[in-house]
Amino acid sequence: MCAPYLLSGILDIGKTNYDEDESGDAKYLKKMAALIAVFLALLAVQTFALELFDLGYSGKMLAALAPTVPVFCMLVATVKNYREMDEFMQRVQGESLLWTINVICFLSFGYGMLEMVLGVVPPIGVIWILPAVCLGSGLMNFILMRRDHAE
């Protein structure tokens, strides 16, 4: 549980007066960009480690899970950002997430039904759930904001 605080501490190094005046959104975007950079770096380290070294079972497990640390920090950051939003933005974000989860659950349920009836369907890895939720939620957020603006 200390990882997010540790990383957030690292990211706050070199803070200037200007940074303290930054809006919550700007800080959030900066933090997310830094965490994505850490994620990509760990992904590269993971790839090289698995290619170049003969890691044991625990080593492979560690290498496989290393990139999930910044991802966990991103999830914590999104919750913190949600809490800092005003009530209207929370409503829009909540509705976006609800739509996304509903659509993903519906599609996976339909896919499961096909698998049950047809027997063989192309396998889809569970690794795609998180990117699907992130992209879907972002897309739904955009659609809902556009809808609210158009009305």
Partner 1 sequence: MQNKLRVLRAEKRWSQAELADRLGVSRQAVNAVETGRHAPSLTLAFSIADVFEKTIEDIFEPSSPP
Residues that bind partner 1 (CB under 8 A): 85-89, 91-92, 145, 148-149, 151
Q: Give residue 42's identity as a one-letter amino acid code.
A: L
Q: How far is the CB of 86 from partner 1 (least distance, A)?
A: 4
**Single-letter amino acid code for the residue at 111:** Y
Pick between residue 20 and residue 87 the one whose CB is nearest to partner 1: 87
Question: Is 105 or 145 the residue whose CB approaches partner 1 more closely?
Answer: 145
What dihedral angle (degrees, nearest 10) is formed by the CA atoms of 23, 29, 33, 34? 40
- Smallest separation, CB 87 to partner 1 (Å): 5
> Two tokens at 46?
């993971």
Pick between residue 57 and residue 88 the one whose CB is nearest to partner 1: 88
Question: Nearest approach, Cβ of 88 to partner 1 (angstroms)?
Answer: 4
SS (H, E, C) 66-94: CCHHHHHHHHHHHHHHHHHCCHHHHHHHH
Among candidate residues 62, 19, 11, the one with its CA nearest the CA of residue 37: 11
| Minimum gap (Å) between residue 140 Cβ and partner 1 | 15
- 54 or 87: whose CB is closer to partner 1? 87
